A and B are shown apart, each in its own frame.
Chain A
Amino acid sequence: MIKVSNLYHSYNKDEHYAVKDVSFEVEEGEIFGFLGPSGAGKSTTQNIMTGLLQLQKGNVTVAGYDVKTISNKMFNQIGMSFEESNVYSKLSAKENLEFYRKLFDVETRDPMELLRLVGLHDKADIRAGEFSKGMKHRLTFARSMINNPTLWFLDEPTTGLDPAIASEIKGIIREQNKKGVTIFLTTHNMYIADELCDRVAFIVDGELLLIDSPRNLKLQYGDKLVEVEYIKEGETIKESFSTIQKEDLDKLQEVIGKYEIQTMHTKEATLEEIFIKVTGRELV
């Protein structure tokens, strides 16, 4: 569905690449997570794939179209939900969707049905300018489904939403995927990635560090961790140690020998901890 090879991009057309030698493939029907800290180059890569940024160097094929010679027809198959909601504030929710409907050559979905899906059906006739941030975000999300896309780009689809709505959005994403929609999900949120994605890619400073399924990553890196709470010079300290890495084991033994232990559990590594371990970077 997507094939990116040796992609480079520099905003100033110099040696400072926002994206460096990135290559990956997304299979039809999978949910592919694109994870990395702020400024890693996620949006840059995504914008090149959707033609919002010009391809400078490398090869990118999206839904069978080479983005070098991007065609309007490609967009009949693509949906994109933006991180920052961008809807017409002077049009009502329904008018917004009605308008976008007219811009595709394929069969489109009923605006009211979409609004119901994201819980905005009773706000259909209210101008989007009067919406809260979360409501605008849901409208932007709903709009991205208007043309029944087979490839769906989602940029931080649940950020800033309250947990109940976030979980509904996750449900919608799963459902669409079950219908065969390929999903390219960009996020900082490792829990969502863990829950939803078939495979994830870690990108840091414009470079792709690894691609694998969350399950494989946990088997490989997510060796059992021990979380210890102990008292050191009158203060309670909480720390995690790997039970496989030599360094961590030595430290753990030292802690047990030297200090008073309060609690000690084993737990499975989260994707976030794996990310930190692999990249040496926090996910900000």
Chain B
Amino acid sequence: MKLWHSFLKEMKLSARGFYFYVEILVAVIILVMILFVVPENFRSVEDEYLFYDWPEGVFEEFVLPTLMEDDLDGKIESVEVEGDDILYPAQLIESEGTRYYIFESEEAVLRLTDLDRPKIGAIIRMDEQSQPYYEYYLQGYETQRLRNVYSIFHILDFDLMEAEFESQEVRSLTDGYLELSDRENIVPAMLTFNGSMMGVFIIAAYIFLDKQSGIIKAYAITASSVWQYLMSKVLVVLVSTILSTVIIVVPIMRLQPNYGILFVLLLASGLFSSTLGLVVASFYRNMMQAFGILYFLMIGLMLPAIAYFTPSWNPAWVQWIPTYPLIQAFKETILVNGDIGYVAWVSLGFFIASGILFVFANARYKKTLVS
């Protein structure tokens, strides 16, 4: 009963306060961003700067027709590319994913590859046996795998490769396992950030408000326990977490998510972040003092999001950060036929961790009410 009344009072306070609306506003901003700024699917167009060092006419006769097959509008555009105040004329052929700029000199490709950083710059020459050979100019950040592909690419017979490629069949192991669109793919990371990690900040802010106004002392001399005080705050954070998650998920994902298991996961992760916030706040007197560690925590907890968006960067230690499985679990909840078992395990893990953190926080607050 005391917990219930404390919770009601906390809800009243947060509705009249500031942080509650900050959280809702952040959720709305994230929603608007995802809906209107992030495209449904990223269509990234990449540039290739080329120069064919071939005898007059050979390029026009043999290469151009092949390139033109992919061209979107069937026309070659004459353009000029500027670099260091010099205009370099080029012919532009635009295909689905790539813009080919065919320059008129080797120098133009070398200079512009350096300045504009296109995906690739290449000089194509011809040896004594009239076989083409390629000089690639890369940017330096390409992975070794990509470099290897470039170096073996031309040894193989291209027609053979294409035939091989098409004769292979790729089948999914489970039926109906639909991929998420690029836009939907952002949702798990945003949920982890907004729904869960905001909780660390918000609950710490609530605690510091109480510490500064001395209210925490007034509560301490009532016949209510410290755990009830702490739990009432946790519950308020859970309410705003669920609310802000609904704001983001429903308009984007509609009925696709498994809302039941999503709710369980949200509870588990919300409990985790709010109890973590309680523990952090117990060591400091105000937001100013705690800001450094909170900021550090946020950055640390966001690292898995970087790994999530960058498939080639996924070191083992990042997988130990709690938000790593959390992002994956959120993804499973919004996928059609997501792995519910996995989400259940992750939730269980977060429930257990929250329990431990809460017991620790309770002991901390009993000891540090005044000092």
Contact = CB atoms under 8 A, between A and B. Distances in A.
Given A47-B370, A90-B13, A90-B17, A52 B213 contact: no
Contact of A72 (B12, B213, B224): B224
Nearest to B17: A90
B218 interface: yes
B279 to A, nearest CB: 19
Interface core residue of B9, B17, B225 (most chain A CB under 10 Å)? B9
B111 interface: no
Interface string A52-94: 1110000000000000000011011010101011111111000
B213 A82 contact: no
A78 B225 CA distance: 15
Interface stretch (A97-105, A194-202, A205-213, A251-259): A97-105
Contacts of B6: 102-103
Interface size class for chain A? 20 to 34
Contacts of B306: none
Given A72-B223, A75-B221, A91 B370 contact: no
Given A76-B223, A104-B223, A52 B369 contact: yes
A282 to B, nearest CB: 27
Nearest to A44: B370
Nearest to B369: A52
Nearest to A149: B221
Given A53-B371, A104-B222, A105-B223, A90 B214 contact: no
Contacts of B218: 82, 86-87, 100, 140, 143
A228 to B, nearest CB: 47
B2 interface: yes
Nearest to B220: A52
A72 B225 contact: yes
Given A90-B17, A91-B12, A52 B221 contact: yes
Given A100-B222, A103-B2, A91 B213 contact: no
Contact of A88 (B13, B217, B222): B13
Nearest to B229: A103
A105 B1 CA distance: 11
Nearest to A71: B223
B16 interface: yes
A54 B220 CA distance: 13
A66 B365 CA distance: 20
A140 B267 CA distance: 36
Contacts of B222: 75, 100, 103-104, 147
Given A99-B5, A102-B1, A103-B5, A88 B215 contact: yes
Interface of B: 1-2, 5-6, 9, 12-13, 16-17, 213-215, 217-225, 367, 369-371
Given A84-B214, A103-B2, 5 more contacts: A50-B221, A72-B225, A86-B217, A100-B222, A140-B218
